[in-house]
Amino acid sequence: MTRARDRRRYARAISALASDGPRCPRRRGERVVTFRATGPWTLERVRGMNVKEITRWLREDDDARLDELWREADDVRRRSVGDAVHLRGLIEFSNHCGRLCLYCGLRVENRAIDRYRMSADEVLDCARQAVEFGYGTVVLQSGEDLGTTREWLVDVVRRMKAETPLAVTLSVGERSLDDLRAWRAAGADRYLLRFETSNRTLFERIHPPRDGRPSDRPAMLRQLRDLGYEVGSGVMIGIPGQTYADLARDLEWFAELDLDMIGVGPFLPHPATPLGAAAAPASVVASAPGGRRGTSAGSSATASPAGGRRYGPVVPPTSEDPPPPAATSGQVPNTELMTYKVIALARLLCPLANIPSTTALATVNRAEGRELGLRRGANVVMPNLTPAVYRRQYEIYPAKACISEEADACHHCLTQRIAALGRSVGSGRGDSLNRLRCPAGARIAREATP
């Protein structure tokens, strides 16, 4: 009886979140909690969970309990953002990068890839193709390329906004406040910047500073919010040295930062990087079929990348690289299953956010990775519009899914997969309901800084 009553109260709370009334502003110091049930540890308490409780879910290995988590996340997704799956056309316009991140194939020291920058006309052609496919958004993504000047991207965004009805999302790394302000003034709508991990020490070990300047991505995310961008962020799952408490704090940060978009994926180091070399031979980590338990919550199983593709020479650490972080006894595995747990918990903690089922999931599970992500809380997919001549060179991690598909084939495949789930392809821009319910001007920053 108590259980049924708690579920009804939770359903009313979720309905209120998706109602016409705004859920903001919050008072300073107020918890990002709409409802918290009393009594035993149940799913109804999830919106008020602390780090310890989130950690218990991350360590959960009972299939029946996990099935309950998947159902609840899918139900909250349906009630909060609906059944539509929004398609964001991805345009990887430059693979130049000035950073030395220890895991990414685009790092400046990787000389085994051919570097490219697309022309403005090529980028606009991709945007026109997005309109033909019925997409409402394009994502302009690159490495942290200072060769992409403020003026060049202003021109691209202005032309795109003048010639198409598309929302424009930028994902170009850490840039100056003047750059961010100029791109917003040109018409950019959204900005994606993953904070990758809430553990500052771990972040700094795998992301050496550029020109000696420390990173403060949470502060940059707040700047983006103040400039009027719709703001997205996310993390990698299973970074060597990442603990369950770290990952639980990552999930808390999603709510603390009041994110409009949340992207997560398994840690997949490129073999031509220090962390890839440390894990050689190159591999991706997978759970048992369907993202079931397969291995214990504290361990992982490795499988060779699909197709047995060969890579350029593995790059050993240089004198500029800090030593790779060591795995700890509480190491989070970089499994497909753990990724689904994080997607589901992110949906429960942030019901109105847009959450993609990522290409990384499709990489570790070609058959149904994206579909399982959509069944466990996600509502966005990002088909790739990058011309095939460039796509193979944008290799952040190995053996990316759909790397050889043309844009029209990718579009056709994804729309068929979405229809097979009984879901519809979203229309329009697919703006975050979190943003629509709580305009930037109404938000009150939390006093505590993560």
Asked whether residue 367 is domain-assigned, the answer is yes
Flag whether pLDDT at 24 surpasses 70: no
Asked whether residue 445 is domain-assigned, the answer is no
The answer, as to whether pTM is greater than 0.85, is no
Asked whether residue 204 is domain-assigned, the answer is yes
What CATH number does residue 249 fall under?
3.20.20.70
Give dist(CA 19, CA 23) in Å, integer.
Answer: 9
Asked whether residue 295 is domain-assigned, the answer is yes
Asked whether residue 53 is domain-assigned, the answer is no
Give dist(CA 351, CA 171) in Å, integer.
Answer: 23
Of 122, 45, 120, 102, residue with least CA distance to 396: 102
More confident residue, 201 or 299: 201
Give dist(CA 64, CA 381) in Å, integer.
Answer: 27
Q: Which helix (H) or strand (E) holds 72?
A: helix 63-81
Give dist(CA 263, CA 196) in Å, integer.
Answer: 10
Asked whether residue 48 is domain-assigned, the answer is no
More confident residue, 303 or 144: 144
Average pLDDT over residues 186-192: 98
Tell me how far the alpha carbon of residue 19 is from its chain's centroid. 26
Flag whether pLDDT at 88 surpasses 60: yes
Flag whether pLDDT at 312 surpasses 80: no
Query: pLDDT tens, 123-181?
Result: 999 999 999 999 999 999 999 999 999 999 999 999 999 999 999 999 999 999 999 99
Q: How confident is the model at residue 1 (pLDDT cuts 50, 70, 90)?
A: very low
List the helix and strand counts (H, then E) for the chain.
16, 10
Flag whether pLDDT at 300 surpasses 60: no
Flag whether pLDDT at 306 surpasses 70: no
Listed ranges 49-58, 205-214, 264-273, 300-309; the one with the highest mean pLDDT: 264-273
More confident residue, 317 or 337: 337
Give dist(CA 109, CA 313) in Å, integer.
Answer: 12
Query: pLDDT tens, 321-342?
Result: 555 565 556 899 999 999 999 9
Of 53, 11, 99, residue with least CA distance to 396: 99
Q: Pick the range with the lowest mean pLDDT from 30-39, 46-55, 228-237.
A: 30-39
- CA separation (Å) from 111 to 108, 325, 365? 8, 24, 29
Quick check: 393 and 439 in contact, CB under 8 A? no
Report the domain count for the chain. Answer: 1
Q: Give the residue numbers spanning the domain of 283.
A: 78-437
Q: How confident is the model at residue 278 (pLDDT cuts 50, 70, 90)?
A: confident
3-class secondary structure for 365-380? CCCCHHHHHHHCCCCE
The total number of residues shown for the chain amounts to 450
Asked whether residue 62 is domain-assigned, the answer is no
More confident residue, 267 or 304: 267
Give dist(CA 141, CA 380) in Å, integer.
Answer: 17
Asked whether residue 318 is domain-assigned, the answer is yes
Give the distance between the most distant pair of CA atoms in the chain. Answer: 64
Give dist(CA 255, CA 54) in Å, integer.
Answer: 13
Give dist(CA 246, CA 450) in Å, integer.
Answer: 12
Helix 51-59 and helix 244-256: axis angle, to 10°? 120
Kind of pairing, strands 190-192 and 167-171? parallel
Give dist(CA 411, CA 84) in Å, integer.
Answer: 16
The upper half-sphere exposure of residue 34, i.e. CA atoms within 13 Å in the direction of its Cβ, equals 21
Q: Quick one: tokens of 254?
A: 């999603």
Q: How confident is the model at residue 292 (pLDDT cuts 50, 70, 90)?
A: low
- According to the model, what pLDDT value does residue 340 have? 98
Tell me how far the alpha carbon of residue 58 is from its chain's centroid. 18
Quick check: 7 and 37 in contact, CB under 8 A? no
Instruction: Identify the burial level of 28 via C-beta atoms within 10 angstroms of its C-beta, where 0-12 means exposed, 13-18 middle and 19 or more buried.
Output: exposed
Give dist(CA 50, CA 34) in Å, integer.
Answer: 14
Neighbours of 228 (CB within 10 A): 16
- According to the model, what pLDDT value does residue 151 have? 98
